[in-house]
Amino acid sequence: MTTYRAPVEDSLFVLNDVLQIQKYNNLPGFADATPDMIEAILAEAGKLAEEVLHPLNAVGDLEGCTWHEDHTVSTPKGFKEAYDLYSESGWGALPFPEEYGGQGLPATLNTAVQEFTMSANMAFSMYPGLTGGAAAALIEHASEEQKQAYVPKMMSGEWSGTMNLTEPHCGTDLGMMRTKAVPQEDGTYKITGQKIWISAGEHDMTQNIIHLVLARIEGAPEGVDGISLFIAPKYLLDADGNPGERNTMTCGSLEHKMGINGNATCVMNYEEATGFLVGKEHRGLKAMFVMMNEARLGVGIQGLAQSEVAYQNAADWARERLQGRSISGVKFPEQKADPIIVHPDIRRILMTIRSFNEAGRAFLLWSSLKGDISRRSEDAEAQQAAHDFMELLTPVIKGVLTDKGFDNTVMAQQVFGGTGYTKDQGVEQFVRDARIAMVYEGANGIQALDLVGRKLPSKGGRAVQAYFKEVGKFCSKHKDNEAMAPYIAPLSKALSDLQAATMWLVQHGMSNPDNAGAASTDYMHLFGLVALGHMWALMAETAQEKLAEGANGSTQFLENKLVTGKFFMERIIPESTTHLVRIQTGCDTMMELDAEAF
Amino acid sequence: MTTYRAPVEDSLFVLNDVLQIQKYNNLPGFADATPDMIEAILAEAGKLAEEVLHPLNAVGDLEGCTWHEDHTVSTPKGFKEAYDLYSESGWGALPFPEEYGGQGLPATLNTAVQEFTMSANMAFSMYPGLTGGAAAALIEHASEEQKQAYVPKMMSGEWSGTMNLTEPHCGTDLGMMRTKAVPQEDGTYKITGQKIWISAGEHDMTQNIIHLVLARIEGAPEGVDGISLFIAPKYLLDADGNPGERNTMTCGSLEHKMGINGNATCVMNYEEATGFLVGKEHRGLKAMFVMMNEARLGVGIQGLAQSEVAYQNAADWARERLQGRSISGVKFPEQKADPIIVHPDIRRILMTIRSFNEAGRAFLLWSSLKGDISRRSEDAEAQQAAHDFMELLTPVIKGVLTDKGFDNTVMAQQVFGGTGYTKDQGVEQFVRDARIAMVYEGANGIQALDLVGRKLPSKGGRAVQAYFKEVGKFCSKHKDNEAMAPYIAPLSKALSDLQAATMWLVQHGMSNPDNAGAASTDYMHLFGLVALGHMWALMAETAQEKLAEGANGSTQFLENKLVTGKFFMERIIPESTTHLVRIQTGCDTMMELDAEAF
Give the C-alpha separation, B381 to B372, whole Å: 14
> Is B354 in the A-facing interface, judged by CB distances under 8 Å?
yes
- The model's confidence at residue B290, banded by pLDDT at 50, 70 and 90, is confident
| pLDDT at site A552 | 73
B contact test, residue of A323, A429, A593 with most B CBs within 10 A: A593
Domains in chain A: boundaries:
461-598
Residues of A in contact with B514 (CB under 8 A): 326-328, 344
Residue A226: how many other CB atoms lie within 10 Å: 18
> Is the CB of B577 less than 8 angstroms away from the CB of A577?
yes
**pLDDT surpasses 90 at B238:** yes
Chain B's closest residue to A338, CA to CA, is B173
**pLDDT surpasses 80 at B116:** yes
ipTM above 0.90, yes or no: yes
| pLDDT at site A331 | 94
> Is the CB of A418 less than 8 angstroms away from the CB of B197?
yes
A contact test, residue of B347, B510, B568 with most A CBs within 10 A: B347
- The model's confidence at residue B316, banded by pLDDT at 50, 70 and 90, is very high
Longest dimension (CA), chain B: 84
> Is the CB of A257 less than 8 angstroms away from the CB of B517?
no
> Is A423 in the B-facing interface, judged by CB distances under 8 Å?
yes
Q: Considering Cα of A500, then A505, then A511, then A514, what sign does the dihedral take?
A: positive
H-run or E-run covering B285 = helix B284-320
Q: Which residues of chain A have pLDDT under 70?
A: none
Interface A:B, Cβ pairs < 8 A? 252
Give the C-alpha separation, A157 to B185, whole Å: 75
| pLDDT at site B170 | 86
Looking only at the bridges linking them, the beta strands covering B208-217 and B159-164 are parallel
- The model's confidence at residue B553, banded by pLDDT at 50, 70 and 90, is confident
Cβ atoms A286, A385 nearer than 8 A: no
Residues of A in contact with B336 (CB under 8 A): 176
What HEC string does B29-63 produce?
A: CCCCCCHHHHHHHHHHHHHHHHHHHHHHHHHHHHH
Q: pLDDT per residue over A378-408, tens digit each?
A: 999 999 999 999 999 999 999 999 999 999 9
| A208 DSSP β-pair partners | A159
Q: pLDDT per residue over A168-203, tens digit each?
A: 988 888 888 999 999 999 999 999 999 999 999 999
> Is the CB of A518 less than 8 angstroms away from the CB of B345?
yes
| pLDDT at site A291 | 80
Residues of A in contact with B414 (CB under 8 A): 438-439, 443-445
Is the full-model pTM beyond 0.80? yes
Question: What integer best gives the mean pLDDT of chain B?
Answer: 96
| pLDDT at site B179 | 97
Give the C-alpha separation, B396 to A387, whole Å: 48
Secondary structure (DSSP) of A278-309: ESSTT-HHHHHHHHHHHHHHHHHHHHHHHHHH
- Give Rg (Cα) of chain A: 24
Cβ atoms B150, B243 nearer than 8 A: no
Choose, from B202, B294, B428, B441, the residue flagged as catalytic: B441
Task: Return residues 239-268 of B near A (CB < 8 Å).
Answer: 255-259
Secondary structure (DSSP) of A410-476: HHHHHHTGGGGGBTTT-HHHHHHHHHHHTTSSS-HHHHHHIIIIIITTGGGGHHHHHHHHHHHHHHH
Verify whether residue B441 is a known catalytic residue. yes
Cβ atoms B29, B375 nearer than 8 A: no
> Is A424 in the B-facing interface, judged by CB distances under 8 Å?
yes
CA distances from B19 to A140, A572, B23, B483, B563 (A): 66, 38, 9, 21, 20
> Is B28 in the A-facing interface, judged by CB distances under 8 Å?
no
Q: Where are the alpha helices (DSSP H) in B416-484?
A: 427-437, 444-449, 462-477
pLDDT, average across residues B183-199: 97
| pLDDT at site A172 | 80
Cβ atoms A56, A82 nearer than 8 A: yes
| pLDDT at site A542 | 98
Contacts of A160 (CB under 8 A, 6+ apart): A127, A128, A130, A131, A154, A200, A203, A205, A206, A208, A209, A210
B contact test, residue of A5, A170, A173 with most B CBs within 10 A: A173
Task: Return residues 366-385 of A near B (CB < 8 Å).
Answer: none
pLDDT, average across residues B78-88: 98
| pLDDT at site B294 | 82
| pLDDT at site A373 | 97
> Is B512 in the A-facing interface, judged by CB distances under 8 Å?
yes
Q: pLDDT per residue over A242-288, tens digit each?
A: 999 999 999 999 999 999 999 999 999 999 999 999 999 999 988 88
| A251 DSSP β-pair partners | A268
| pLDDT at site A25 | 94
Q: Fill in the DSSP letter of residue B471.
A: H
Dihedral class, residue A228 (left if φ above 0, else alpha if ψ from -120 to 50, else beta): beta
For A263, phi then psi, to 5°, come to: -95, 135
Amino acid type, B561: K
Choose, from A63, A441, A545, A559, the residue flagged as catalytic: A441
CB-closest option in B328, B345, B582 to A445:
B345
Q: pLDDT per residue over B436-480, tens digit each?
A: 999 999 999 999 999 999 999 999 999 999 999 999 999 999 999
Give the C-alpha separation, B165 to A471, whole Å: 54
Residues of A in contact with B563 (CB under 8 A): 589, 592-593
- The model's confidence at residue B552, banded by pLDDT at 50, 70 and 90, is confident
Q: pLDDT per residue over A425-469, tens digit each?
A: 999 999 999 999 999 999 999 999 999 999 999 999 999 999 999
H-run or E-run covering B182 = strand B180-183
| pLDDT at site A224 | 87
